[in-house]
Amino acid sequence: MSDLIDALDADGLTCVVGAGGKKTTMYALAAAADRAVVTATVRIPIFDSHVARVEITEDPLAALMTAADWPLGLVPEQEFEDRYRGYDPETVDEIAAAHDGPVLVKADGARMRDFKAPGENEPRIPSWADTVIPVASAHVVGEPLDEELVHRPERVATVAGVEVGDEITPEVVGRVLASPEGGLRGVPPGATAIPLVNKVDDDEDLDAARDIAEAVLDHADRSVVPRVVLARMADAEIREVVA
């Protein structure tokens, strides 16, 4: 098992949520894994260049049984020119039950922002998920809590107990990642959550990410969140693991 998969506990049914690097994380994990499936329960941008093949099918189990090229993308439909539609969470459970390798799932959206809290109908996590990876970018620290970098800043403010427009501190990011109404929303009973602080590009980012990790571990249920991973997923590089 690669260090990346081991750190993120991504050898089973793994859902990636949040903002600031979900897709990059999925594709890095898919490249590091043996016989990985990449799929989604929400819309996902065209990702053919990140896998060996994308199979567009309403019968993913049949496609899985005959697959020879990995990583394999599975989606039900190309809904728009630049987007695939995702499967129902129940179908992804069936894919995972039938597959003998990792299944990596994009389970919410963030409109290309670096930080978010989930909306009323998010995330769409299959009930048999083994691991959930809530993602946030270290680059939001020190920036204002507004729509430029944050998807649903009003939800973030509510979860973190601050006001829209306030400075985003490591404590704010940590509170949201650790909250049952934030990064841990929808994590099934018995599943593990491994928060990922992404875009740790330099020493300043690393200091901010360490502070975020400390805040996560201060506020999270440690039976659910055993550690926080600090990384630069554009290079599939783990900078530090905080436990």
Per the structure block, which two tokens stand in for 33? 């894994």
Q: Evaluate whether 187 touches 171 at the Cβ level (below 8 Å).
A: no
- In this prediction the pTM is 0.97
Q: How are beta strands 150-151 and 115-116 bridged, if at all?
A: parallel
Average pLDDT along the chain: 97
Mean pLDDT value of segment 179-201? 98
**Range list of H helices, the chain:** 3-8, 22-32, 60-65, 89-98, 153-160, 170-178, 203-219
Instruction: Return the sign of the alpha-carbon dihedral for residues 57, 89, 10, 153.
Output: positive
Burial track 60-88 (b if 16+ CB lie within 10 A, e otherwise): beebbeebeebbbbbbbeeeeeebbbbbe
> Using one digit for the tens of pLDDT, what is the confidence trace for 15-67?
999 999 999 999 999 999 999 999 999 999 999 999 999 999 999 999 999 99
The percent of residues in the chain predicted with pLDDT above 70, rounded, is: 100
CA distance 89 to 121: 13
pLDDT per residue as tens digits for the range 119-175 = 989 999 999 999 999 999 999 999 999 999 999 999 999 999 999 999 999 999 999
pLDDT band at 97 (very low <50, low <70, confident <90, very high): very high
pLDDT value, residue 57: 98
Give the pLDDT of residue 68.
94
φ and ψ at 92, to 5 degrees? -65, -35
Average pLDDT over residues 203-224: 98
CA distance 41 to 125: 8
- Per cent of the chain over pLDDT 90 is 98
pLDDT at residue 1 greater than cutoff 70: no
pLDDT band at 216 (very low <50, low <70, confident <90, very high): very high
Q: How many CB atoms lie within 10 A of CB 218?
A: 12
Q: Can you give the pLDDT at residue 51?
A: 98
pLDDT digits (tens, 9 = 90+) for 160-171: 999 999 999 999
What are the residue ranges spanned by the domains of the chain? 3-242
CATH: 3.40.50, 2.20.25, 3.30.70, 3.30.160. Which one for 3-242? 3.40.50
* Mean pLDDT to the nearest integer, 191-201: 98
The stretch 87-97 carries a mean pLDDT of: 98
Q: What DSSP designation does 233 have?
A: G
Q: How far apart are CA 119 and CA 116, in angstroms?
A: 9
Residue spans of beta strands (DSSP E) within 46-204: 53-56, 72-75, 77-80, 83-85, 103-106, 115-116, 131-137, 150-151, 192-193, 196-198
